[in-house]
Chains A and B, each alone.
Chain A
Amino acid sequence: MSDGSDALKFNLPFERASPAGTMGVLTAILESRTGQQLGANRAWRIETELTPLMRDLGLASLEALAVAAQRSPTIAEQVADALLNQESSFFRDAAVLDLVARALAAMRVDHPERRLRIWSAGCSFGQEPLSLAMLFAEQPALAGAAMPEIIATDVSEAALARARSGRYSQFEIQRGLPIRRMVEWFDTDGTDWIAKPELVRRIAFRRMNLVAGALPSGRFDVVLCRNVLLYLTPEDRRQILDRFATILQPGGVLVLGAGETTIGQTEAFQPSPTYRGLYERDASSV
């Protein structure tokens, strides 16, 4: 009588025709849009992360959400957004950002004839590029007309929309942002804090999927890609790093997250001898 399927059914928290199929559909949506594979160690979180969306859409189960996402690209995008880790903070690893400003000030002396350019790849809600814009505005060598051009990209349109709005909750604004900068660069709207338009205007926000191979045009003096590559496969990581190398100016630097490195991933970069923790193109492999 028992072929095992009944036992399986009774052990499930609620009825699903094919739970494995549902999870497969949902993780495949994330992977096809962002290159991120959800390891088994995160699979258990899918339900938690998607429940708010399920509720918003008035759907009764993850299965129903998977079906809806296969029919509607909009819902698929919402699924991917909900599964992305978009955690960030202002002045994350502040010492590294100070180092970036120092490197740029030195580049400015070396190349007074051109405008410096930086790319924040995987910018989430904009905390990183905004932090840089504040930092630059406060340093005579990088302020005003000397302000580097800042391009900020992310795969998530929803994250970019939030970044462009410059609007942060009371909790978000208090992550990493010193109080003096908060009152200088933000206005209040109820309990939200909104970056001043003149600050947000200094940043060009664009949608870009690093895995799909797109690159912003032109060359860059600094590329920041912090806490993004760790979610991708080693092969995607290597390819992305190699592409970064092709768009860096000679003498330009790459900035990764605190726990990330190029070592063992690609030959295109080597640790910078001048700026500890940053990376330079390997002269021999260019």
Chain B
Amino acid sequence: MKTCLVVDDSKVIRKVARHILETLNFRVTEAGDGREALDSCLACAPDVVLLDWNMPVMSGMDFLRALRDSAIASRPKVVFCTTENGMAHIRAAIEAGADEYVMKPFDRETLESKLQIVGMA
């Protein structure tokens, strides 16, 4: 069973994502900001991280940079999941090393499709 870490400051979004991911056979852990997400990556090495952009404490982008610079050995796939749907943001995410990008609002098919693309579903 693959593990997905859902990082979003909205409890509602985390719940929706968790529900979809569980039907796709993922084990799900949650984090409310980038800082918590880093800790969680150290603790439980998820296979994939579903990552919001704008969050308090540490943004998705800062998390991604920190993850890249960290000593965390098993590098998870990172799928942004955000309302930042402009071309500039998407390019910046790719440049920073994101593997895929989900534009909110999302549905089950979108999530499944993107997870398939990164080889996780």
Chain B residue at minimum C-beta to C-beta distance from A191: B85
Q: How far is the CA of A187 from the CA of B100 in the complex (A)?
A: 18
B90: interface (CB < 8 Å) = yes
Query: Is B101 engaged at the interface, CB distance under 8 Å to the other chain?
Result: yes
Query: 8 Å CB contacts to A: which residues of B57-94?
Result: 85-87, 90-91, 94
Binary CB contact string for chain A from 176 to 196 against chain B (1 if under 8 A, 0 otherwise)? 101110110001100100000
B25 interfacial contact with A, CB 8 Å: no
Residue among A171, A175, A179, A182 facing the most chain B CB atoms (10 A cut-off) = A179
Binds A, one of B8-16, B46-54, B105-113: B105-113
Interface residues on A, range: 10 to 19
Q: Which of A170, A176, A183, A187 contacts B103 (CB 8 A)?
A: A170
Q: Given the complex, which residues of B lie within 8 Å of A178, measured CB to CB?
A: 100, 117
Cα distance A263–B110 in the bound complex, in angstroms: 33
Given known A-B contacts A178-B100, A179-B94, A180-B94, A89 and B113 have beta carbons under 8 A apart: yes
Other-chain residue from A171, A175, A179 in contact with B100 (beta carbon distance below 8 A): A179
**Interface size range of chain B in the complex:** 10 to 19
Contacts A174-B102, A178-B100, A178-B117; A183 near B87 (Cβ below 8 A): yes
Interface: B27 (CB within 8 A):
no
Contacts of B85 in A (CB 8 A): 170, 188, 191
> Taking CB as reference atom, which chain B residue is nearest A181?
B117
- Are B113 and A176 closer than 8 Å at their CB atoms? yes
Closest chain A residue to B118 by CB distance?
A: A178
CA A187 – CA B86 in complex, angstroms? 10
- Please indicate the chain A residues that have their CB under 8 angstroms from the CB of B98 in the complex: 179
A171–B103 Cα distance when bound, in Å, is 9
With both chains docked as a complex, state the minimum distance between the C-beta of B82 and any C-beta of chain A, in angstroms.
12
Complex: how many Å from CA A182 to CA B110?
A: 14
A171 and B87 in contact, given A89-B113, A176-B113, A179-B100 (Cβ under 8 angstroms) = no
Chain A residue contacts of B87, Cβ below 8 A: 183, 187-188
Ordered by A's residue number, 5 sampled pairs between the chains whose C-beta atoms are within 8 Å are A170-B103, A171-B109, A175-B109, A175-B110, A178-B100
* A-B pairs, 7 with minimum CB distance: A179-B101, A174-B110, A178-B117, A175-B113, A179-B100, A170-B103, A176-B113
